[in-house]
Structures are given as structure tokens and as C-alpha cells.
Amino acid sequence: MKKYIFVTGGVCSSLGKGIAAASLGSLLESRGMRICMIKVDPYLNVDAGTMSPYQHGEVYVTDDGAETDLDLGNYGRFTSSGLSKDHSITTGQIYQQVIKKEREGKYLGKCVQVVPHITDEIKSRIYRLGEKEDIDVTIVEVGGTVGDIESIPYLEAVRQMIHEKGKGDTLSVHLTLVPEVTGGEVKTKPTQHSVKEMREIGIQPDVLLCRCKNELDNDLKKKISQFTNIDYDSVLSAHDVNTTIYEIPVIYNEQGLCEIVVKKLGLKVGKAKLGAWLKVAESYKGAKKTVNIAMVGKYIELADAYKSIDEAIIHGAIANGVKVNIIKIDSERLENGVSPEEVFKGVDGILVPGGFGQRGILGMVYAARYAREKKIPYLGICLGLQIMVIEYGRNVLGIEKADSSEFKPDGKTNVVTLLEEQVDVTAFGGTMRLGLSKSKLEKGTKIEMAYGEPEAWERHRHRYEVNNDYKEQLMAKGLVISGYTPDGSLVEAVEWSDHPWGVSVQFHPEFTSKPVKAGPLFRDFVKASIK
């Protein structure tokens, strides 16, 4: 019988439901279970593609080109579960499909309602994945917070699934906040109310993960257990860690989370194999040296805006046996009179990530120039490649107004231009060059040495590319074109020739990097930065 675990959150958002769900997934995988990870989001957008990073954090891209919530990135880093557009469910998708069916007469004249039509569509999408032959356990993370009006249809669908499948085949895991108030006193009342709201909906949580600053003591756990009707052994401490998030599966395992889930669901599992996670945690904890990496971006204020890149840099540090200090630099600082020498003091490597729009572009160009001239290791990703080419065009080729069609649509010397297939695009959602594709790598280049083979398979998310009209000029002046699309029509990677390590790529290598196997470019970038 297929098993389903539903992970919900209470009190407030951003407590770490995604990390909790992913950690549980990794623990079950370590016991030999074949898992499926699903995220349901209550917003009305069809996907996360058109959302501002300030609103929703980064957009994570799957192999098949789906633009999804960043929690799928956590699933990808913590587990080997396959991820596609089907693993990201939004209210926009659900209503769009139900309305389509109604227009086609599929409901035979019935009045279309939230219950049963919306909830049935939610359940059918979860069952479609969870009932596959190669899946043992499906973990469904419900976005938002219990009590949100947007989440009600999803929680009702969860209640129905628990009723349909039975308690032996379903499990409710609720993550909630246990805050400290002035004086350090720990308060359990928010958690009590959160569980009460869940029970009013008709869902009794089986496991409670208490998000707190320090590990809960036994008296607090007993109190929470009494007031929430949850077994004492199933009240667990989700306390802060001082190393990396990759220690969290180990912490949950030490508290018996996997044993509780296995027992409650009656799973037949093997012995836990957590060697890789223990090695990752110990490697970072035991590192003696720290490398300073400056990330020059335009969405610096929100920590999650570059989540996958942050984690990939940490993966690179783990692979090299060092710790990393990521210094977030708003590119506009470099435009407002602050000297690069001051901004990059003590920095070992500079990374320019992706982004959209004119704001902060000049500051990124200054950062690329400083890295090139001062021989500081540089990694450019997506926009970061275009910045590298614009900087080279202006300061090496002497094209004073070298720019991009994104920032100067009518520019006469744009070294970056709109992709041909994007010229007539009028809708923004899901229309970029998206998903996994192959890049050919030039022999003897730094990128080819990093991947150790003549090709790289990575995911894309962009509309603009290097203008082929300037390719020969750039190469003649020493810019190395180190990667192409298989047909040779588009530039995928560039490098500085007379430089310790200056590499930029049009794709997003951060999406395939894992703590147990760092992305090749992040591994080599950090290695060069250490030197």
C-alpha cells in the first residue's frame, strides 16, 4: 500500500517546512524507501516564473523547464527524488484545469464548487504521482500557514485523503513555532493554538516539529504533548544549527524522527545509511580555513533570492574542505561612489548571479572589471555571463556603448541580444529558454577541465544571448568562447584567457549541485578562490 506524509506549518511562514520535508525524505531514502516529493502552493499564479524575488525568493527550474517554488531546490539537494512540473502544484493550475473541464462540459451540468471539484483535482494530482509503481512514500508539503484562507482547499483535500487512505497509510507532520520572549522565556501557546486550528479542520497531527532557538527540554515537550494530544515521543525539537542546513537530517535522526514515521506507517525498511550526511556535516564543522566569496547582485535584501547559488557555494566549500563566508553586495553600491577596493577588501572570489532589468547593471560591470584586472577568481551565471561580455566589449574592445538589448533595446552596439525565438513573444509566463539542455565544451578550457568531459548538461532560464555579430571581435581580443550549444549557434560559456580563473556560463549550474556532490564549477571556483 502506498504511503502519504503531509507536512504543514503553523503560526507564521518561513519556518522551514521545505527543509523539514526534504530532511525527512533524505532519512527515508537512507532506509531504502523510494520517495516522491510534492509542493502545493496556495497562490493563484500558475507558477513562480513571473514573481519578484523579493516576493517569493528564487525561482527553481526543473529539467523539464518548470519554474517552481524554491522548496523544490531543497528537495533536489537533499534527496534523489525526480522533480518535474508535476511535482509543483499551485492554485492557479488547479482552478485553470477545473474551469477548462467546466467549459468542456466535463461536469455534466453540475454546479462547480470548491468541494468536491477543486479538492478532487488537488487529490487527483497527488495520487497521479503517489500511486506510481516505483514510489513507496509520497511527501506533500502544503505551502502557507494553517489559518490562511488560501490554504483551506488544500487542507480539506489532505483531510479527505487521510480519511480515504486511513491512518495506517497517512501521516500528518506539523511544523510550528515555539518562540522565546523577553528574558528568554519559551512560550508554547502559539503551538497549542496552531494544532487546535489543525484539529478544527479535521486533521490531528501525528508528529510535531517545534521550531525553536535552542533544543526543547523534557518539561516543555510534555506540556506541548498534553495540550496538543500528540505522543510525547512525537514532539521533536527543530532547533537552530550553527553549521549548515545539511546537519538537520542528522539532528532529526538523532531524535528518532525516521523511527517514528516508520513505526506509524508500518514501513518495512533497511538499516539507516547516513554516512554521506555525517561526512558533510563533519567536513564543514571541522574545516579550519574560511574563504570569502563576494556575491554582487540586485536582490541582496532577501536571503532566499539566491538560495540555490548560496547552497552551491557551500557545496563547493565542503568539496574543498573549507568554510565559506558569503558576502552579499548590492551592485548599486558600486554605482554610488563606493570604490571597488573598499567593497572587495579581503575578498577571495567574486560571483555575479542571474537577474532581470536595468537596475544595478553598471555596478556589476564594475565588479567584473575589477575581478578581471585584479586577477580575482570570477564566476558569472546567466546575467553574470552577459555582464562579463558587456564589460569586455567596453573596456577591452573599446566599444564605449556596448550593452544588452534588454537594457537598451535600440542600441547600435549591443553585444548581448534577444534570442531569435523570443522576438515575437508577448506573454512572460513560461516563455523563456527553460530546462535541461546540452552544452559542448572546448577542449583544454577551464570549464572543460571542471566537468572532466566534453559536454555539460545543465538547466537554462533566460531570454538573451551573446550577439554572434561580435563573437569574432571578442575572440580576437582574447575572450575565450569555451562552450556552445550542440549546433554551435549560441554561446554557452566564456573565459578570460590571461586570468587565474574567470569563467561565466549562460546556464544555471546551481540547480544540479548537491552537498554530497558539488557542482563542478562551484568546486573549482572555490578552489581557485582559496589559492
Closest C-alpha to 474, from 400, 390, 397, 391: 397
Residue written as grid cell 531504502:
32
Amino acid at the residue 47: D
Closest C-alpha to 509, from 466, 464, 463, 456: 456
Please say whether the beta carbons of 293 and 327 come within 8 A. yes
Q: Which three cell numbers stand for residue 305?
A: 533570492
Q: What is the DSSP letter of 432?
A: S
The residues annotated as belonging to the active site are: 382, 508, 510
Q: Which three cell numbers stand for residue 29?
A: 531514502
Please say whether the beta carbons of 57 and 75 come within 8 A. no
CB-based burial, 378-416: b 16+ in 10 Å, e otherwise: bbbbbbbbbbbbbbbbbbbbebeebbbbbbeeeeebbbb
What are residue 12's phi and psi, to 5 degrees? Answer: -155, 165
Q: What is the DSSP letter of 58?
A: P
Residues 6+ apart with CB under 8 A from 468: 489, 490, 491
Local structure of 486: helix, strand or coil: coil
Please say whether the beta carbons of 122 and 40 come within 8 A. yes
Helices 307-319 and 71-78, interaxial angle, to 10°?
20
Residue written as grid cell 525526480:
82
Cα(90)–Cα(106) distance, integer angstroms: 21
Closest C-alpha to 369, from 346, 396, 349, 342: 396
Bridge partners, residue 319, by sequence: none
Residues 6+ apart with CB under 8 A from 510: 308, 309, 311, 312, 381, 519, 522
Closest C-alpha to 209, from 460, 58, 18, 33: 18
Q: Which three cell numbers stand for residue 114?
A: 470548491
Cis peptide leading into residue 353 (ω within 30°): no
Residues 6+ apart with CB under 8 A from 99: 112
